[in-house]
Amino acid sequence: MIKITKKQVEAIENLPPIERYHHSIKMIADREYLYSLLDNNGNWELAKAEGETLFFIWSAEEYAQLFLTDQWKESIVEKVTVSELNDEILPFLNEHGYLLNIHAVSNKSGFVVTPTEFSNDLNNELENYL
């Protein structure tokens, strides 16, 4: 597993949401895994914002761990492969009309996209690795 330095974490955390999104897409494509949150019952954590249901995604465990404060402090960081995301999670999110919250920080929303938009952007980036 590749570790991220404190300096790298701080630099990325301070970027605007769209730039964190682009960084996340590149890192996820490079590593072929990502991180999200589970509750204590093993269910995916979902957030509600402005009438939408959001599924969390971070490109590195360190970023997800930083989010575990306040209402999320009991959540469990879970590693997810790109295959699991594409085969299981994205279809479920699409079916229910949920959105993706990419790289949220300090209880603030990250960049919010539809599962289809995220999948298209990730697949476009993955093509660079073929």
Domain boundary assignment for the chain:
6-129
Residues 74, 51: Cα–Cα separation, whole Å? 24
Q: How confident is the model at residue 113 (pLDDT cuts 50, 70, 90)?
A: very high
Give yes or no for residue 46 having a pLDDT over 90.
yes
- Phi, psi at residue 116, to the nearest 5°? -65, -45
Q: Which amino acid is at 7?
A: K
CA neighbor of 3 nearest in space, from 60, 78, 77: 60
For residue 11, how far is the Cα from the chain centroid?
17
- Which of helix, strand or coil describes residue 97? coil
Give yes or no for residue 130 having a pLDDT over 80.
no
User: Which architecture does CATH list for 6-129?
Assistant: 3-Layer(aba) Sandwich (3.40)
* pLDDT tens digit sequence for 6-25: 899 999 999 999 999 999 99
Residues 23, 56: Cα–Cα separation, whole Å? 15
Res 3: pLDDT: 78
Res 1: pLDDT: 57
Residues 85, 108: Cα–Cα separation, whole Å? 23
- pTM comes to 0.94
* pLDDT tens digit sequence for 55-112: 999 999 999 999 999 999 999 999 999 999 999 999 999 999 999 999 999 878 899 9
**CA–CA distances in Å: residue 7 to residues 13, 52, 55, 96:** 10, 33, 27, 38
For residue 23, how far is the Cα from the chain centroid?
11
What mean pLDDT is predicted for residues 116-125?
97
